[in-house]
């Protein structure tokens, strides 16, 4: 396949007021769906808009809420996504839409009234194919606030631009994304064989086709993270497994920062192994002292996590800080373990099950 020089091609700019299609995959989102839809339909956008909801097989009241919303507003369309695969749902929603600009939105997110207008202006100004902004995570409980803090910190998710970048410019990927339909159709929409990381892979193909992917820090989306520790583990293990799969497929196209969590998993494993040998006296004397150097990276990491948890912005109280101590290594080790599994044997049918069974969690 011919690879064009990234950023050399200008994406088409539709006539102002030609319309916007919002696409949202939905699964078990009864707490968040209504508010997310309200923020989409409140967008200050010139021209017509539509919102296409791709409905997965939710086990809570999500689909009833979606049908009620669609019955009350002709701008809302519903399509089925029976397997609950995000890229499949996104593609079905895109194909069901009519307008030349596609805005990906999430049922766990909220956008400000001027979000789309600002994104459209940026797209036209820089002739980009896709533009995204900052994912600003927020939480309601001590646990969710700790997860949000980790999301918003470069220590938590590796310092990608959309986790707190401040400089506008070309980007590797875009959070959610405001995209030109013509470019999406040219590169083939989302890859339906990828269940996590589908946005990164799509943006890789957009850049390889020569178009610009752009980061605008003035665009900000409120994101509500997972509400429990077990769901966080499942989410990050699945995400890591699919990143490992993407490394298998695309190799050097992946940023080096993706290799930090698996390196941590290896460091922790080696430290535990050596520690057991020292405790059982298999290693003793000078050899035990020399081997102790393997504990240093883990000790430095633990100290860093402690500083982050105790530092400014640590939350509303001691519960937030304690949860931060647990959340950060949970995210890193779960993601790293998933990455290693995905890299060694592929992600195959790995599914993010963290949206399943949410009915047991009280409404905020």
10-residue mean pLDDT series, the chain (364 residues):
66 94 95 94 94 96 96 97 93 97 94 94 96 92 91 74 74 94 97 92 96 95 90 94 93 82 96 95 91 96 91 72 93 96 90 64 38
Residue range 92-121, pLDDT digits in tens: 999 999 999 999 999 989 999 999 999 999
Check: CB of residue 298 under 8 Å from CB of residue 267: yes
Q: What domains can you pick out in the chain, each with its CATH number? A: 20-227 (3.90.550.10), 252-347 (no CATH)
Check: CB of residue 170 under 8 Å from CB of residue 141: no
Residue range 132-179, pLDDT digits in tens: 999 989 998 999 999 998 888 878 775 555 556 678 999 999 999 999
Rounded distance between C-alpha atoms, residue 350 and residue 342, angstroms: 9
Cβ contacts of 71 within 8 Å, gap of 6 or more = none
Cβ contacts of 304 within 8 Å, gap of 6 or more = 155
Rounded distance between C-alpha atoms, residue 13 and residue 59, angstroms: 41
Token pair for residue 251? 């190799």
Rounded distance between C-alpha atoms, residue 137 and residue 115, angstroms: 16
pTM: 0.86
Check: CB of residue 130 under 8 Å from CB of residue 102: no
Residue 72: burial class (beta carbons within 10 Å; 0-12, 13-18, 19+) = exposed
Check: CB of residue 138 under 8 Å from CB of residue 320: no
Q: How many residues does the chain have?
A: 364
């Amino acid at each position: 396949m011919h690879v064009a020089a990234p950023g050399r091609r200008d994406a088409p700019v539709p006539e102002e007021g030609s319309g916007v299609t919002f696409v949202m995959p939905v699964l078990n989102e009864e707490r968040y769906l209504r508010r997310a839809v309200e923020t989409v339909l409140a967008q200050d956008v010139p021209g017509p808009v539509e919102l296409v909801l791709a409905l997965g097989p939710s086990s809570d009241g999500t689909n009833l809420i979606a049908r009620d919303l669609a019955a009350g507003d002709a701008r809302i369309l519903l399509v089925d996504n029976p397997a609950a695969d995000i890229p499949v749902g996104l593609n079905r929603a895109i194909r069901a839409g009519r307008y030349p600009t596609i805005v990906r939105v999430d049922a766990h997110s909220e956008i400000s009234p001027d979000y789309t207008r600002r994104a459209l202006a940026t797209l036209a100004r820089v002739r980009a194919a896709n533009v995204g902004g900052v994912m600003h995570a927020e939480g309601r409980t001590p646990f969710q606030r700790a997860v949000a803090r980790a999301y918003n910190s470069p220590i938590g998710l590796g310092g990608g631009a959309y986790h707190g970048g401040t400089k506008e410019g070309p980007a590797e990927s875009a959070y959610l994304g405001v995209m030109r339909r013509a470019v999406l159709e040219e590169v083939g929409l989302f890859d339906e064989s990828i269940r996590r990381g589908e946005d990164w892979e799509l943006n890789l193909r957009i850049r390889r086709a020569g178009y610009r992917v752009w980061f605008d820090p003035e665009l900000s989306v409120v994101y509500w993270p997972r509400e429990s520790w077990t769901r966080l583990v499942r989410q990050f293990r699945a995400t890591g497994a699919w990143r490992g799969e993407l490394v298998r497929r695309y190799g050097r196209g992946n940023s080096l920062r993706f290799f930090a969590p698996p390196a941590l998993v290896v460091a922790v494993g080696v430290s535990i192994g050596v520690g057991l040998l020292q405790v059982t006296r298999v290693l003793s004397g000078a050899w035990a002292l020399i081997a102790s150097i393997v504990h240093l990276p883990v000790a430095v990491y633990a100290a860093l996590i402690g500083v982050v948890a105790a530092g400014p912005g640590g939350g509303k109280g001691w519960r937030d800080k304690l949860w931060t101590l647990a959340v950060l290594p949970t995210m890193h080790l779960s993601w790293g373990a998933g990455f290693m599994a995905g890299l060694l044997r592929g992600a195959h049918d790995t599914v993010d099950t963290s949206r399943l069974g949410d009915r047991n969690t009280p409404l905020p």
